Amino acid sequence: MIIAISSRALFDLEESHRVFIEQGKESYCEYQIANENAILEPGIAFQLVRKLLALNHDLPGDQKVEVILLSRNSADTGLRVFNSIQHHGMDITRAAFTSGESPYRYVAPFKADLFLSAEASDVRAALDDGYAAAAIIPSRAIGPERDQLRIAFDGDAVLFSDEAERVFRTGGLEAFKDSESGAAHQPLSGGPFKNFLSALQRIQAAYPDERSPIRTALVTARAAPTHERVIRTLRAWNIRIDEAMFLGGMDKGEFLKTFAADIYFDDQQGHINSAAEHVAAGHVPHGVANEE
């Protein structure tokens, strides 16, 4: 499994970014070079990446996970990022520095299963090209320290296509219920994160259930009777979800806090804002909810 991540998602570069916004590129370059030996603090996705890389030490054999840095820095200004990677003992050796250009186009040649970035435009471009991608939302929420990697997903427009969400938005709740009940035995099409969940599943399969270093959750606004199609879809895909929460429109934040997610992926900004109060969150700007 290959994860591509931007430097601003991995480390706290908000001060550096402020210099860039307020004073321009030249001042930013001077600032980064002057501070290249000042170690960067962990960013929103740091704990997630640390746990992903730890999977490589849990089982003998081939490398299970590789993390690749994709950065708008130049190689010169990016030296501070690599110095910080080495200081934190992270096994990240491959990178692409694009000197201000969008780095998302290197997601394909690196064959990444997931792209995480603080730049929403890069994330949208990656999603349009068919890759799982999310915009990391600024947050100071820090989950409990534990070794197990916990990842939570929304359903429609994330794990699944947005076909059901479109019915809800055009016809309302009753039309959505009728449509989903009538199609309960018809699997939903896959969304942008289906293949990433499959990659997690392949790693999980190497462990007994009680010793798995990965735990996944589906956290959806659906409720009965629209739950059945979701369950049957995952069964048809032969994909395991460890926990499933059908909340019927309840706020998701407290449930994600209880699950202790290292990251949560959702297509709707309101759910992401709620989640970010408690856990790291990634907005997936995909589907009908983001067409405006």
**Catalytic (active-site) positions:** 154
CA distance 112 to 85: 20
Is the distance from CB of 69 to CB of 98 less than 8 angstroms? no
Ramachandran region, residue 35 (left: φ > 0; alpha: ψ -120 to 50; beta: rest):
alpha
CA distance 164 to 58: 39
First to last CA, the chain: 33
Is the distance from CB of 151 to CB of 269 less than 8 angstroms? no
One-letter amino acid identity for 63?
A: Q
Is the distance from CB of 285 to CB of 120 less than 8 angstroms? yes
The residue to which tokens 């990016």 are assigned: 78
